[in-house]
Structure 1
Amino acid sequence: MSDSRPPDAPPAPADPSARPLDDREQALIAAARETAFTLYEGTRVPHRSCGIALAETFGLPTPAYQALRRGGITGCGTCGAIRAGEQILGEILGDPDPTGAVTDALRSAVAWYQRQIPTRIDRGPAPDYVCNNLTAPLGPFTGPTRASFCTKLAADIAALTAEAVLRFAPAGVQLRVAPIAELADQPDAQPPGAPT
């Protein structure tokens, strides 16, 4: 596991979104992107839905993320990958006490993440990030054009989620990019930067 910010690191700047990312942080972001890409694409390992690919990327239990498939199963909700990113931020940066308040880190990370979506995530000709609107112009849902679009989107969201954690996590909070289970016996087959 890698620390988001080492305990002996200097205090975070007033605006964490403005600080440059170091090489280790950039490697973690790249590993998150590649891991989610591999899990969603379904070429080297069996395909995962967008939410499950994101949860597995960060080593989180996947059952709740099934509900995010196809924008909440029906396709009528916001993209499941985008929603998964927010849930992951909650799991990593939220207060573990169910009666606790929203942590400052979670509030800042989610606000930043939501501001980044329209500037970093391609929605093609869609008017919004509703799953059906994103995917309808791309042909059949099971077709290669839609699959390619959603693979890239899931990978981009994994990278954005990792960056949000790295920028806003308090000292000692860990960002973990998990190895892909099916590739565990092939360390050289893990995505670049992913743990083995």
Structure 2
Amino acid sequence: MEFIAALVMILVIGGIVFVSGHATKRKEAEAAAKARAEQVVEVGRLAEQVQNSLAKMETAKTLASRVNHTSRALEHLELAFFYPVCTDVISNAHEIRDRLKAMIRVFPVIDLVEKSYRQRFKGKSAAELSALQDALYEIGMKGITNVEIEQAQIYPEGTGEIVTIESIQDRCRKLGWEPR
């Protein structure tokens, strides 16, 4: 009889432990789901800030403001990477980050190419050559490649021309530049 009573007690206690363990797991799952939902909202907010910064960059007129807005967009995106749900919310987050980094590096080159176009329009070939040489200097000092220029997807204003290192060098040669 004592054996049966002890067995019943063990079953009752085991049932209580099982039920409380199940309830604890359910609460943990609910807490995890809530945390994930909060992360999704935060990453969405950061993605919106990235878009806002890029919209401001599109309308910026100066090199400094373009770089500043793009850097700000990159900062917001980098913050989003701290959340495990980042790539779930922003499916191409890695590509966007790579493009933003390339844009920051390539902006000065495109700015100098645009300056050379303005000088060409004015008929000032010496100033055009100087601007293109400055662009080549920037490319050389930063180690910028055609891949980065292409990845940045930045084109000189008004022309839409695809800029390559070779096209800059070719134009310099047409203006009388002899590379060393």
Higher helix proportion: 2
Q: Which has the larger radius of gyration?
A: 2
> Does the TM-score normalized on the shorter chain lie above 0.5?
no
State the structure with bigger RCO (CA 8 A, min sep 6), 1 or 2.
Answer: 1
What interval of TM-score do these two structures reach, taking the shorter chain for normalisation?
under 0.3
